[in-house]
């Protein structure tokens, strides 16, 4: 009986912690909603959604001045977090295109490439159920110096997603590794802040140039 009780308790605790891990971003999602009320966002946007590499892209509108972009990157989110807030983050905006950057934090947190890919697949399935023909662009998990030890897992995740998207209509992917590595095939230091994780203005400039050809009118 004691073992059974401990097992049930452990399961309940894991569910509680999982819910907390996702609900920790509630204040950021609410902030988006308050912002939308005060200043309605552009209609039919190109929606950027995902983790802090998007959240910290403060001049994203200036990077694409002729495009109706809307940035909804939040926290240090995982793919499960984006799926948890899906209804409040994606279909509510009726996007003309969806650009996803997420998955890096999943792997940094200990998930395998396969498990992270499955989280992407679940999010993508939600999008396709509601928006079967809206173009989706997936940006590869980047080669951050602080996560260089995880590079093989990151690249396997990128490979799994890109292989899947190769068979999908209205979907594409962008490999950012070639533009972020130096001649020694190591992360280019000038592209990263002192935390060796988030990008500098030069990093975002390179991303913008690479992303532009994929954005719809």
Does residue 184 fall inside a structural domain?
Answer: yes
For residue 197, CA distances in Å to 74, 105, 182 come to 16, 11, 16
CATH of the domain at 156: 3.40.50.1110
Write out pLDDT tens, residues 49-63.
999 999 999 999 999
C-alpha span between 74 and 82 (Å, rounded): 9
Does residue 20 fall inside a structural domain?
Answer: no
pLDDT band at 200 (very low <50, low <70, confident <90, very high): very high
pTM for the structure as a whole:
0.89
Asked if residue 102 lies in contact with residue 50, where contact means CB atoms within 8 angstroms, the answer is yes
Write out pLDDT tens, residues 145-180.
999 999 999 999 999 999 999 999 999 999 999 999
Does residue 8 fall inside a structural domain?
Answer: no
Name the one residue in this structure whose structure tokens are 């972020």: 180
The structural domain count of the chain equals 1
Domain containing 61: what range?
28-214
Asked if residue 78 lies in contact with residue 131, where contact means CB atoms within 8 angstroms, the answer is no
Mean pLDDT of the chain: 92
């Amino acid at each position: 009986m004691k073992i059974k009780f401990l097992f049930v308790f452990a399961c309940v605790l894991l569910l509680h912690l999982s819910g907390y891990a996702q609900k920790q971003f509630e204040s950021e999602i609410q902030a988006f909603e308050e912002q939308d009320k005060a200043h309605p966002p552009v209609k039919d946007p190109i929606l950027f959604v995902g983790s802090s590499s998007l959240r910290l892209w403060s001049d994203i509108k200036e990077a694409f001045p002729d495009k109706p972009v809307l940035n909804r990157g939040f926290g240090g989110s995982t793919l499960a977090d984006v799926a948890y807030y899906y209804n409040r983050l994606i279909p509510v905006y009726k996007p003309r295109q969806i650009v996803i950057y997420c998955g890096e934090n999943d792997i940094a947190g200990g998930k395998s490439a396969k498990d992270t890919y499955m989280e992407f697949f679940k999010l993508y399935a939600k999008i396709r159920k509601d928006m079967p023909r809206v173009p989706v662009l997936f940006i590869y998990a980047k080669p951050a110096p602080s996560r260089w030890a995880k590079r093989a897992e990151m690249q396997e995740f990128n490979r799994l997603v890109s292989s899947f998207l190769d068979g999908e209509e209205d979907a594409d992917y962008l490999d950012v590794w070639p533009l972020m590595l130096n001649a020694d095939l190591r992360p280019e230091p000038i592209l990263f802040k002192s935390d060796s994780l988030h990008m500098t203005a030069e990093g975002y400039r390179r991303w913008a140039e690479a992303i532009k050809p994929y954005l719809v009118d």
